Structure 1
Amino acid sequence: MSGTDPRSRARRQQLLRVRGRSVAWVPPLLLLVAIAAIDSNTSGEFRIISWIVLVPGIAAAICGVRGTAVFAVLALVTYIEVDAAWPHQDQTGLPDFILVAVGGALATTACAVRVREERRMLHMQDVADTTRRTVLRPMPSPWAGLEHAAVYLAADSEARVGGDFYDIQPGPHGTRVLLGDVQGKGLPAVAAAAALLGTFREAGFHEASLAAVAERLEVRMGRHRQYVTDLGEDPEGEPARGVERFATAVLVAFPPPGVPGGHIEVVNFGHEPPLVVGPSGVRALPPGDGLPLGLGGLAGPDSGVPPVRRVPLAPDETLLLVTDGVTEARDADGVFFPLREHVVLAVAADPAAAHPRHLVELVREGTLRHSTDRLADDTTIFAVRQTPPGAHQGPGEPPDRPGTPREG
């Protein structure tokens, strides 16, 4: 993580506070006093008073603009007083005076630039956080008959948002779950993810069949690609490459809360197959045999969307969905992260690891440890299972009244 990361600066500033008060002024003040004291107690052949130019430099790194300016003035005044106390032949004179004066001015200017940049970065962080909360909306847990947990890690620590997306949409026809990964990075990927999530939240509520939801997602991705192509440039102002934009995704349908289940429906758009994790073991769902969203037309106009598969899921089993930030995480030798083996060993040692919250944390720690905290791609880990009978049920969403528009 870079030193310009706002979170790193926040931790640094926290270390420079005691009982809520800033003590950032202490290090440069101690350095000022130490240089003056040492210079006053040495021989004329070893003068270090010119080192006092370091004081405003240190202040520029940890203090505000006013504090740095104060230390620049203090350093100059201290230099004059200490140097004047020596005999004329031992004084450092005008050259070092100019050095300290110019050094203080430059340090104050550098501090002003640093503070302005930090404020800009904090503003960008707020924008990124707002964008992330809009695309990846907060969800109560449990919700609509499902317990869930998720971790999202952006490969770009500054942007903190990328092309991975996930959501849960309850409705009168059951609860639908979507996880996907848009090809590419940056704002173009975020725009595509937002378009797909908006469609999913509407179609997942209103459509009775999962196949219809899948069809709506495929159409939406095609429309978004065409829009970007017609626009002539992507959201970052670069030449449009909309014809290349696609997204892998997994669409899942759970039965409505209270309805006996035992099965779920799954549509896989070329994504890594989810894992089913339970006390009895770990198994992978059938691999995705469909093309990613946005590429369905390559298989012909009558190819349609991938088939809806009905697969068993016991009440104590958790569905684990991840993006390629997990499956393609590599160690120093280029070896991929062994996700399934990692989960199998953890569940065998402790069946409670199959709980969504524990499972997500387990995969997160394993991925970061394997890749030594260097993620090459955005990483999403999403685990969901049906709420055990008798457990507290989170609020679902009431049906729309006829003629009333609804936002996801």
Structure 2
Amino acid sequence: MVMGLRRPSAARRVSLPGPDPGETSAGAARIGNWALALWLLLLTVAVVLLDALTGNDLPLIPLMVVLPALASVFCTVRQTTAVAVWVMLIVVGSRIASTGEFWDVAFILGFTAIASALGVVACAARIRHATEVARLRSAAVALQRQILRPLPIVTRQVCAHGLYAPIEEDRFVGGDIYEVVQSPHGTRVIIGDVQGKGLPAIGAGFAALGAFREAAVRERELCAVADAVEDAVVRHNAFSAETGETERFVTALVLGFDGEEGVQVVNCGHLPPRLLHDGQASAVTLHETSVPLGMAELSGEARVAERIAFPEGAALMVYTDGVTEARDANGAFYPFDERLGTWSDREPPLILDALLADLEDFSGGVRRDDVAVLVLSRPREGGSPSPHPGPAVAESPTK
């Protein structure tokens, strides 16, 4: 439903590095020149010996035409061309030494030349495609850095560690959103889940984030911040309707840490947070729940902020339904509260690592929704984050 894990040890940064030089050069040279030459020589010797043993009844040397095709998958264009030339030399040499009919020899030589040329062309096409993908990944990284900030984020009132895992393997951003903003009125935090998936969901999420970033600094009241985001989602939906796209809503929690006792929360149809304190995890009861952002016109009631407990030494976990609605192979839902209770005495980054690994194991690596989680705690002395690096973006696991 939102904007979609990486292995636990690596599930840690919203801004991923740009494409690797090897990837930019299109996945080239996975096999070194000397290793390729050695394998090619050994394979040629083996085929020639087997061909000599079988005689003319079962010629094996022409089967070497598959080598350029195999090389096109793993090698550079130059390497693939070298393999093609080598195969042509071997086949031509073997056919010259043979006593077969002219047209049989001509057919084999022609077929070898065509197969070798196709291997080189396929390799060039693969590298061209890989280069384009690398450029798109670089653009996606730049886009992601504009949409979602790297974690952890430390303000005067809050240290936010987090986990972000888009469902799409080839995307860095999905429909789940989050932001932490330091304002004159304290720290404002939002976590949200945009209805639907894909680029339209990203557009709605971007509209909500942009409005939140401005309103969090401008508005004194937390409800006014939520209302500003509501207006932005409504405007985005109006534009979407004009262009023929589906209108979307956003479930969200908007939190305000103003230095006073407790935390202000405006619940816009989102899942309630979990309080981690004294080695225990408990669901926070929210008495005031309004409709999701973008749907206020369906309700005649104004949004209300309520204050929840936030004891010294405690942490608040906010998350999207990609966590609670994860399922195993039998369709059973993830036992979120039960598992969270076993990690609640750990540091926030370690909780997130454990949660990510457990979700991966529980679902068998098959995710049906994006995952976003923030663990909000008071910053340590000096405003520095926990000594453990904080997670944020998780790459899709190998399936």
- Relative to the length of structure 1, the TM-score reads 0.82
Q: State the SS of the aligned residue for 2:57.
A: coil
Q: CA 1:374–1:210 in 2, change beyond 3 Å: closer, same or farther?
A: same
Shift of 1:367: 1.4
5+ residue gaps, structure 1: 233-238, 395-408
How far, CA to CA, are the matches of 2:359 and 2:205 in structure 1?
23
1:52 pairs with 64, 70, 86, which one?
64
1:16 to 30, 48, 56: 30
**Paired residues for 1:329-344 under 5 Å:** 329-344=326-341
5 Å-filtered alignment, 1:134-149, equals 134-139=146-151, 141-149=153-161
- Give 1:282 shift: 0.9
CA displacement 1:90-136 (0-9 Å, x = unmatched): 99623322221121121112112211211121122112211111110
Give the equivalent residue in structure 2 for 1:321.
318
1:220 to 232, 251, 261: 232
1:64-103 → structure 2 map (5 Å cutoff): 64-88=76-100, 93-103=105-115
**What residue is the counterpart of 1:247 in the other structure?**
250
Aligned to 1:304: 302
Mapped partners of 2:321, 2:218: distance in 1 = 30
Count of matched residue pairs: 364
In the alignment, is residue 34 of structure 1 matched against residue 46 of structure 2?
yes
Instruction: Give unpaired runs (5+ residues) of structure 2.
Output: 6-18, 386-399
What's the offset of the Cα at 1:29? 5.2
CA spacing shift, 1:27–1:116, aligned 2, 3 Å = farther
d(CA) in 1 for partners of 2:103, 2:343: 71
Tell me what 1:357 maps to.
Answer: 349
CA apart distance, 1:143: 3.2
CA apart distance, 1:342 = 0.6
The verdict on how the C-alpha distance between 1:128 and 1:85 changes in structure 2, with shifts beyond 3 A counting, is same
Within the candidate set 343, 346, 351, 1:346 is matched to 343
The change in CA–CA distance for 1:215 and 1:17 in structure 2 (over 3 A counts) is same
Change (3 A) 1:187 1:26: farther
Deviations 1:255-293 (A, max 9, x none): 2xxx4x441111111111111112341111225621110
Partners of 1:151 and 1:382 within 8 A in 2: yes
Deviation at 1:14, TM superposition (A): 9.6
What is the alpha-carbon root mean square deviation over aligned residues? 2.7
Provide Cα deviations, 1:172-218, integer angstroms capped at 9, x if missing partner: 11001110011111111111111111111111112111111111111
Which structure has more relative contact order (CA 8 Å, sep 6+)? It is 2
Contact between 1:32 and 1:55, CA under 8 Å: does it hold in 2? no
Q: Where does residue 402 of structure 1 map in the other structure?
A: none
The residue type paired with residue 331 of structure 2 is: G
Matched-pair identity in %: 30
Within 5 Å, give how 1:148-187 maps onto structure 2: 148-187=160-199
Does structure 1 residue 370 correspond to structure 2 residue 362?
yes
Q: TM-score, normalised by structure 2?
A: 0.83
Give the partner amino acid of 1:343: L
CA 1:129–1:30: 2 relative to 1, 3 Å: farther
Correspondence for 1:126: 138
CA distance in 2, matches of 1:192, 1:141: 23
